[in-house]
Amino acid sequence: MQKITNKKIHQILVYSAWTVSIIGILTLLGFANYTLDEKPCKAIEVNIDHVDEHEFIRQENIYAMLKEKNKKLKGEALGKIDAASLERMFNSNSHIANAEVFKTIDGVLKINVTTKRPIARIINYKGESFYLDEDGFLMPWSSDYTASLPVFTGNIFESYDVCYKINYSRSDINDSLLIKNNLFGMYRLAKYLDSNEFWKAQVEQVYIGKEVELVPLVGNHVIVLGNFQDIEEKMNKLDIFYKHGLSKVGWNVYETINLKYKNQIVCTKSKQLLAQKNQRSN
């Protein structure tokens, strides 16, 4: 018969102690979960992270969504509340980037929401308004809140209802599709403007006609971009011209600043200033 050594006895005792401890912990966790499931929901706490202070979603909107789905949560046993289902409902909202729903041990249902961040407002040829967000998706217009952003107007034939499922941040788009659907180009321009604090504040409107034109907040000139190709190169040229040209001659000397030509900027002087100059010379 094999003799059991003290070392083996010690190992058996340690193993047994760990087994009993694990069983005890699992039992306590099971009891805690059972207790939590039986607890009534005593309160609903809604926290909203308004990215860049854009208040597309407010607490009353969250409560309205719950009411619309007939979600009477207060007083309901926490175990009967499907947090995952609530998250899916909130995340389906076009103004919400992410929603998390969880229950606390003291009977509170917490709803944490992060809103989407728009970078451009679009008004199409029918006068319909919607937004482009930072991730390249469309956001619907809200009658409760209007974001202060560069506005794209003109010959924009795309509509929210037709285009909202497309991600316009895709990098594998060819030139022909860019031309057919202006929203790809608009996203690239809006993303560039959003990345630069000066241009974000300076470009008030983008007009889509035969050519793409930028309308600045300061100055009486119009900036002709031409198309949505080589945006960074064109804007870098404009940045240099602003710093070393307009800063010296004045903001209202030129009527148009044309960036569409390779390696050059073509400017047209203000007709009003030319007329005043002719009057003085006469």
Question: Residue 61 pLDDT more than 60?
Answer: yes
Pairing mode, strands 222-226 and 212-216: antiparallel
Summary mean pLDDT of the chain: 84
Render pLDDT for 67-114 as a digit per residue (tens, 0 to 9).
887 777 888 899 888 999 999 999 999 999 999 999 988 899 999 999
The neighbour count for residue 32, using CB atoms within 10 Å, is 11
* Rounded CA separation 264/165 (Å): 39
What span, in angstroms and rounded, lies between the C-alpha atoms of 195 and 207?
A: 20
Q: Is the pLDDT of residue 256 over 80?
A: yes
- Determine contact, residues 34/26, Cβ cutoff 8 Å: no
223 forms beta bridges with 214, 257
Domains in the chain with CATH codes = 43-115 (3.10.20.310), 118-281 (3.40.50)
Q: In the structure, what pLDDT confidence band is assigned to residue 250 with cuts at 50, 70 and 90?
A: confident
Phi, psi of 266 (to 5 degrees): -110, 120
| Residue of 153, 183, 150 lying closest to 166 (CA atoms) | 183
What does DSSP say about strands 203-208 and 151-154: parallel, antiparallel, or unpaired? parallel
pLDDT greater at residue 99 or residue 52: 99
Residues in Cβ contact with 270 at an 8 Å cutoff, skipping those fewer than 6 apart: 220, 221, 252, 253, 254, 255
Q: Could you identify the residue written with the tokens 């058996």?
A: 12
Spatial distance between the Cα atoms of 118 and 263, rounded to a whole number of angstroms: 32
For tokens 């289902």, what's the residue?
A: 85
If you average pLDDT over residues 140-167, what whole number do you get? 93
d(CA 188, CA 184): 7
**Beta partners for 115?**
96
pLDDT-derived band at 249, boundaries 50, 70, 90: confident
Q: Which long-range contacts (CB under 8 A, 24 or more apart) does 48-52 make?
A: 48/113, 48/114, 48/115, 49/112, 49/113, 49/114, 49/115, 50/115, 51/97, 51/114, 51/115, 51/116, 51/117, 52/117
CB 151 within 8 A of CB 139: no
Q: Distances from the Cα of 156 to the Cαs of 147, 183, 207, 235, in angstroms?
A: 20, 9, 9, 22
Which of 95-109, 245-259, 260-274 is the least confident region? Answer: 260-274
Place of tokens 């974000």: 200
Q: What is the average pLDDT across 183-205?
A: 95
Please give the Cα distance from 105 to 128 (Å, whole number): 47
- The mean pLDDT of 55-75, rounded to a whole number, is 87
